[in-house]
C-alpha cells in the first residue's frame, strides 16, 4: 500500500473543519498505509469539499461534495484502490455514493 497519497483541500468547508485530520485517524484505525496531506485550493470550488487519491502508475481520482460523513466510504475506496493494480475498478458499485461524487479520473 505504500505510495498512496490522499490530498484534502483545506480551503473547502470540510477541509476547514478538519476533514484531513479525521481522514488520517480513520485510515490509521483501518490499518491502511496512506499519507493524508492538505493543500490550498484544488480548484474544485463548484464541488466543495474535495479530496484526491493518487499513487504512481495508478489512475488518480478526485472526489467532491464531501463531508465527514463520507469518511467510511473514502476508507473503503482506499482499500479497493490499494488492491487494484492500475487503480481502476471493474465494478464501481462498492464505491457507494462516491460514484456520484467523482469529479475526475485521471489515467496513471
Q: What is the pTM of this model?
A: 0.93
Using CA atoms, how far apart are residues 42 and 108, in angstroms rounded to an integer?
19
Task: Compute, in degrees rounded to 10, the torsion defined by CA atoms 101, 21, 68, 31.
Answer: 80
**47-92 pLDDT, tens digit each:** 999 999 999 999 999 999 999 999 999 999 999 999 999 999 888 8
**2-58 pLDDT, tens digit each:** 589 999 999 999 999 999 999 999 999 999 999 999 999 999 999 999 999 999 999
DSSP strands (E only) in 2-67: 5-9, 35-39, 51-54, 60-63
**96-107 pLDDT, tens digit each:** 899 999 999 999
| CATH 3.90.380.10 at 5-106, yes or no | no
The domains of the chain are located at 5-106
Amino acid at each position: 500500500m505504500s505510495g498512496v497519497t490522499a490530498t484534502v483541500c483545506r480551503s473547502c468547508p470540510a477541509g476547514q473543519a478538519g476533514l484531513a485530520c479525521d481522514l488520517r485517524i480513520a485510515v490509521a484505525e483501518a490499518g491502511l498505509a496512506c499519507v493524508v496531506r492538505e493543500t490550498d485550493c484544488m480548484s474544485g470550488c463548484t464541488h466543495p469539499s474535495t479530496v484526491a487519491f493518487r499513487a504512481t502508475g495508478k489512475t488518480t481520482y478526485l472526489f467532491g461534495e464531501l463531508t465527514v460523513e463520507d469518511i467510511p466510504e473514502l476508507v473503503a475506496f482506499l482499500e479497493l484502490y490499494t488492491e487494484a493494480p492500475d487503480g481502476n475498478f471493474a465494478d464501481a458499485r462498492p464505491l457507494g455514493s462516491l460514484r456520484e461524487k467523482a469529479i475526475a479520473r485521471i489515467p496513471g
